[in-house]
Amino acid sequence: MDKLSRLTPEDRENLIAYLDGELDEQATRHMESMLVESSVARNDVEALSRTYDLLDELPRPNVPNDFVERTVATAKMEHVSVPISKRPWFRKTTQILTLCGWTTLLVASAAVGSLVSSRYFQSQDDVLIEKLPVIENLDVYYEVDNLEFLNRLSAETSLLNEMAREANDE
């Protein structure tokens, strides 16, 4: 290893584990050989060692007995995610969408019902409006005594055409 080469992040983590005595035998030998060969590694170990010494000089905080348990529980809770269906915004959105769906269904049903009723069930006013031309000419129809005469007359298209021409000429 080059004396001035930089350490990898894994080597830096192993330096910390080396100082804490957490490495296995093979990794410890590797770290010791790296410390012999690399001045950068030696400087890093010295800096870490001084940092640990300074940390040891700091006063120890008084923490409650359940501090570790609460900290671990809090850390675990951060990783546990609430299912999306249990979140308040999801419930509110579901309620609103359900209400919109029922409202749409109600309006569509009313529209279909209105169309069906207007199409198949005529009111008396509609019947009167439909028969308005007959009602308007009712007096003329009363003057005709015999419907059989009108039926024969309507069968004679040539006579009707001639009468229509005469009416247009006048």
Name the residue among 19, 23, 10, 27 with its Cα closest to residue 48: 19
Residue 30 corresponds to which tokens in the numbers above?
Answer: 């590797």
For the chain (170 residues), the mean pLDDT of every run of 10, in chain order, is 68 85 89 86 88 86 84 78 81 95 97 87 79 82 73 78 80
> What pLDDT score does 72 carry?
84
Q: Are 127 and 135 in contact (CB under 8 A)?
A: no
- pTM for this prediction: 0.36
> What pLDDT score does 109 carry?
96
pLDDT tens figures, 112-161: 999 888 777 777 887 788 888 888 888 777 777 777 777 777 788 887 78
- Report CA torsion sign: 95, 101, 104, 108: negative
